Chains A and B, each alone.
Chain A
C-alpha cells in the first residue's frame, strides 16, 4: 500500500543541538524522497531531497540519509537555530500509470521547536 510513516510527531530541542526526523515508506517502487519545511501560514518549501541511487546528501546544516533495503530515510539538522522551528514533512514518490513520478505520499509531519 501507499504509506509513509514519520517520527516523531513533535520534537523540542535547544538551540545548537541536532535534530533527527525519521521516515519509513512502504512501496519499493519509490525512488525520490523530498523533505519540505512549512512555517505557520506559509507554503511547504523544498529544503532537500535524495534519489534512490544515493545514500546520503548534505547541504550546509541539513543532511538526508536513505536506506533502501530497510525503506528508511532520515533528515538531520545540525546546529539548530530558532528559525528552524517549523513543521517538517517527508515524502516518497510513486510512479504513475503513465510513467511519471510526481505523485508524492507525505508523512504526517514533525513539529520542530528550537528553543533559544
Chain B
C-alpha cells in the first residue's frame, strides 16, 4: 500500500506571496492532519480534516488555511508569506479522527526569501 505523499517536495517563495501544498493520504485513510516543523519551535499542529470538515485547529494565524476533498486529499494554503513561515510542512493521515495512529508524509520544505 502506498504511503502518504506530498507535493511539491521543495518550494521557494518570496515574502508576500501565497503558496498551496498538497497531501494525499494512505488509501482508505480519511483524516489528514498538518504540522509545521522548525528547528526553533519543533513540531506544531496546524489543523486536521476529516470527511471534508475541519475537526481541530492549532494556534496559527488565519493566513494558514486548509481544505479536504471528497477523495480525502488535502491542501493547505498560506497567504501573505512571511520569512518565519520557512519550515518543513508535514501532513499525516489516519483512518479516522478516533483511531489515533498517524502516518507522516515526507513533507514539503518551504523557503521564504
Given contacts A96-B55, A102-B56, A103-B45, contact A44 B100 (CB under 8 A): no
- In the assembly, what is the distance between CA of A45 and CA of B33, in Å? 15
Residues of B within 8 A of A (CB): 4, 31, 33, 35, 42-45, 48, 50, 53, 55-56, 58, 90, 94, 96-98, 100-107
Decide: A97 and B56 in contact? CB cutoff 8 A: yes
- How near does chain A come to B35, taking the closest CB pair, in angstroms? 8
* A54: interface (CB < 8 Å): no
Residues of A within 8 A of B (CB): 32, 34, 36, 42-46, 49, 51, 89, 91, 93-94, 96-109
- How near does chain B come to A29, taking the closest CB pair, in angstroms? 13
In the complex, which residue of chain B has the Cβ closest to the Cβ of A109? Answer: B42
Decide: B56 and A103 in contact? CB cutoff 8 A: yes
Given contacts A96-B48, A96-B55, A96-B56, contact A104 B97 (CB under 8 A): no
